[in-house]
Amino acid sequence: MKPLQISPDTAIKLAKALHVPIEQLMHMPPHILMQKLAELSKQEAENGQKTEADQE
């Protein structure tokens, strides 16, 4: 499998956000990466709703 076709800056940001090494991220199958990004987005949305409720 060839590495993902993403920029180095994007790879660094994704690796930090997903808490995985860059090497592992670059060789991750695209469908797994999309699943992890969806999970991350869902967590951020839940955290955003909690902080909005706390502010009210």
What are the tens digits of pLDDT across the range 1-56?
777 888 999 999 999 999 999 999 999 999 999 999 999 899 888 888 766 566 65
- Please report the pLDDT score of residue 23 as a whole number: 93
- Please report the pLDDT score of residue 22 as a whole number: 94
Question: Token pair for residue 5?
Answer: 């076709």
- Please report the pLDDT score of residue 55 as a whole number: 62
- Please report the pLDDT score of residue 52 as a whole number: 58
- Please report the pLDDT score of residue 56 as a whole number: 58
Which H helix or E strand runs over 39? Answer: helix 30-55
Handedness of CA 12, 28, 26, 33 (dihedral sign): negative
- Please report the pLDDT score of residue 34 as a whole number: 93
